[in-house]
């Protein structure tokens, strides 16, 4: 609207509340003291802040007028357009000539034109999609493993936590029966465990472990002689909010070389503790089955260890780009589906839900079912192959290597192989 610069310096006084509960009466009153009107932008319903602010203003004997939901929607998200239209009406009615409404209208129309142009480029409307893990996410294999383990031990109560792993509550995993707060999965699991036929499972991220889970979850479980299985997703940073450093990050400035989750758990007295690489689906299934069925009482912790493929590839590719520039050899993994082996039952997609797995028409004219395919945005995490192996599916996935700047031996070998294959194929 042209009322603020790129750094947020605004022509209009703004009180931005990072903590909204409890509200600080003096803070609100001081902000409102020299103003005729204050507009409260409060996403959500009911309008708690608006009502409370009104009470503070009246108690302080001020005559400042408070507006909010009378200009902005009661429910739903405050997107740019929603705010622009609400603020536009507010300033027109109350702000005199503070705003050049013609410019605002032009900008909104331009936004609409860009959106319409982008829509016209699509061949068909985008299908609705639910939130899901990123391609190459190290948490996807763990939920695939839980699914496979449940085939043998039966359905277990999954106490979920705040973080990316909450996406597992959606299809194709459907795992997350309760969710309470950041780092509270194990603590909240204590409430349902006594009612469960089987041992329950709590999921926690490494960020939530340090934030809260170590104390309210692990220490409390041990103190109360609890039982159950806890999976800690250890990828080295807080993922949901953008890879912030946590105490166990390798480059953590707070703890030097990085505090170890396993060391803390052992020091607290966790007896059964195992670290498993997240992408080793078979090992994860085995560990889970043991944890669910052992007669040994007490907390069983599995640290699911795995760096996010996207972060790893970003790091490795900047190194590889340098090597490539120098004309040296670089190997790049590529995954694919063998069209002749794929049966077209799509179990791999249902088990992993990887967004890089799609379907395409079957090249065999005698078979109608579309076959699975690995798309170009694949992160080469290898999960689809691991999953197919652990779930005893048809071995249709292959791993190939694209070699840049191959040496003379590799070129000759490639030539020889190509000739042998061509001869065998009769071409």
Site residue total, ligand SF4 (CB under 6 A): 15
Scored b (16 or more CB within 10 A) or e, 374-389 reads: beeebbbbbbbbbbbe
Q: Which helix (H) or strand (E) holds 289?
A: helix 281-293
Q: Does 178 bind ligand SF4 (CB under 6 A)?
A: no
**Whole-number Å distance between alpha carbons of 147 and 348:** 12
Name which of 204, 210, 206 is nearest 184 in CA terms: 204
Scored b (16 or more CB within 10 A) or e, 324-359 reads: eeeeeebeeeebebebeebebeeebbebbbbbbbee
DSSP for 82-129, please give it.
HHHHHHHHHHHHHSTTSS-HHHHHHHHHHHHHHHHHHHHHSSSPPPP-
| CB 132 to ligand SF4: min, Å | 11
Residues in region 383-412 near ligand SF4 by CB under 6 A: 383-384
Two structure tokens written together for 410? 């590799």
Two structure tokens written together for 219? 């220490």
Taking the least distance from each CB to ligand SF4, the nearer of 53 and 383 is: 383
Q: Does 136 bind ligand SF4 (CB under 6 A)?
A: yes
Taking the least distance from each CB to ligand SF4, the nearer of 50 and 386 is: 386
Taking the least distance from each CB to ligand SF4, the nearer of 239 and 356 is: 356
| CB 347 to ligand SF4: min, Å | 13
Taking the least distance from each CB to ligand SF4, the nearer of 380 and 406 is: 380
Of positions 90, 104, 132, 135, contacts ligand SF4 by CB under 6 A = 135
Unique residue bearing structure tokens 């780092």: 183
Give the gyration radius of the chain's Cα atoms.
Answer: 28
x/- mask, ligand SF4, residues 341-380, rule CB under 6 A, reads: -----------x-x-xx----------------x---xxx
Of positions 68, 144, 183, 382, contacts ligand SF4 by CB under 6 A = 382
Question: Residue 19 contacts by C-beta under 8 Å, 6 or more apart in sequence?
Answer: none
x/- mask, ligand SF4, residues 89-128, rule CB under 6 A, reads: ----------------------------------------
| CA 362 to chain CA centroid, nearest Å | 32
| CB 396 to ligand SF4: min, Å | 12
Taking the least distance from each CB to ligand SF4, the nearer of 247 and 382 is: 382
| CB 354 to ligand SF4: min, Å | 3
Taking the least distance from each CB to ligand SF4, the nearer of 229 and 284 is: 284
Residues in region 308-347 near ligand SF4 by CB under 6 A: 335
| CB 338 to ligand SF4: min, Å | 14
Taking the least distance from each CB to ligand SF4, the nearer of 131 and 194 is: 131
| CB 241 to ligand SF4: min, Å | 23
Do residues 67 and 91 make contact, with C-beta atoms less than 8 angstroms apart? no
Provide the 3-class DSSP secondary structure of residue 50. Answer: helix
Taking the least distance from each CB to ligand SF4, the nearer of 349 and 406 is: 349
User: Interface residues with ligand SF4 (CB under 6 A)?
Assistant: 135-136, 335, 352, 354, 356-357, 374, 378-384
């Amino acid at each position: 609207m042209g009322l603020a610069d790129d750094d947020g310096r605004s022509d209009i006084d703004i009180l931005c509340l990072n903590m909204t509960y409890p509200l600080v009466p003096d803070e609100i009153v001081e902000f409102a003291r020299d103003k005729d009107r204050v507009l409260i932008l409060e996403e959500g319903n009911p309008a708690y802040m608006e009502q409370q602010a009104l009470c503070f203003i009246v108690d302080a004997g001020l005559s400042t007028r408070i507006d909010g939901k009378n200009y902005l929607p009661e429910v739903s998200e405050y997107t740019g357009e929603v705010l622009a239209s609400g603020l536009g009406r507010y300033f027109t009615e109350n702000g005199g000539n503070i705003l050049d409404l013609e410019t605002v209208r032009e900008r909104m129309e331009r936004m609409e034109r860009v959106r319409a142009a982008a829509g016209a480029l699509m061949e068909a409307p985008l299908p609705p999609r639910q939130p899901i893990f990123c391609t190459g996410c190290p948490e996807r294999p763990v939920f695939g493993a839980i699914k496979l383990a449940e085939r043998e031990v039966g359905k277990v109560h999954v106490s979920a936590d705040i973080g990316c792993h909450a996406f597992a509550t959606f299809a194709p995993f459907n795992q997350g029966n309760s969710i309470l707060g950041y780092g509270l999965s194990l603590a909240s699991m204590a409430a349902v465990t006594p009612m469960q036929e089987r041992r329950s499972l709590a999921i926690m991220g490494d960020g939530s472990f340090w934030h809260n889970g170590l104390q309210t979850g692990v220490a409390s479980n041990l103190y109360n002689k609890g039982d159950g299985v806890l999976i800690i997703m250890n990828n080295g940073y807080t993922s949901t909010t953008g890879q912030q450093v946590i105490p166990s990050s390798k480059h953590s400035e707070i703890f030097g070389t990085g505090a170890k989750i396993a060391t803390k758990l052992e020091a607290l007295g966790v007896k059964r503790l195992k670290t498993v690489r997240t992408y080793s689906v078979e090992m994860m299934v085995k560990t889970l089955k043991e944890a669910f069925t052992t007669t040994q009482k007490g907390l069983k912790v599995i640290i699911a260890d795995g760096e996010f493929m996207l972060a790893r590839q970003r790091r490795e590719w900047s190194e590889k780009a340098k090597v490539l520039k120098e004309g040296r050899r670089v190997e790049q993994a590529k995954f694919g589906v063998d069209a002749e082996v794929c049966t077209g039952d799509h179990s791999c997609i249902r088990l992993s839900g990887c967004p890089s797995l799609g379907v395409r028409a079957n090249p065999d004219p005698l078979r109608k079912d579309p076959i699975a395919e690995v798309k170009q945005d694949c992160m080469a995490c290898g999960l689809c192959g691991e999953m197919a192996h652990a779930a005893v599916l048809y071995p249709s996935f292959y791993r190939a290597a694209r070699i840049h700047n191959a040496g003379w031996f590799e070129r000759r070998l490639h030539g020889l192989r190509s000739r042998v294959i061509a001869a065998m194929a009769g071409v």
